[in-house]
Amino acid sequence: MKFKISFSYNWYEVPDVNDHRVIVKIFYINGVAFTFDDVPKIFQDHPEIVIQANKNKVFTAEDLYKSSFYLIDEQCHPLMFELELENPELLPVD
């Protein structure tokens, strides 16, 4: 079975900072979030990215911890295990 990587722009609630959110690029494997990349400040205010983030789920550190731990437990975390991927070029770069 091949797994599919995808991504979206989402709001991320910054831990320990009340009411502070930033837009991040969330990566998914078969629809399960496993990590994120920071989005440069110049893109944080880009109208199309803001519109996309507003339409998508707001993530917290706990959300990402839970989904990432689930994938590790199932040995399906693409950054920790070798998996057959349809589109490995979409994996985040170190």
Domain coordinates of the chain in residue numbers?
5-90
- Looking at residue 60, what is its pLDDT? 95
pLDDT over 80 (residue 94): no
Q: Is 31 helix (H, G, I), strand (E, B) or coil?
A: coil
Q: What is the distance between the alpha carbons of residues 2 and 16, in angstroms, rounded to a whole number?
A: 38
- Looking at residue 89, what is its pLDDT? 95
Q: pLDDT per residue over 9-47, tens digit each?
A: 999 998 877 778 999 999 999 999 999 999 999 999 999
pLDDT band at 93 (very low <50, low <70, confident <90, very high): confident
- Taking CA atoms, 51 is separated from 5, 13, 66, in Å, by 22, 17, 26
Instruction: Provide φ and ψ at 54, rounded to 5°.
Output: -65, -30
Helix %, strand %, coil % of the chain (to 5): 30, 30, 40
Q: pLDDT per residue over 41-72, tens digit each?
A: 999 999 999 999 999 999 999 999 999 999 99
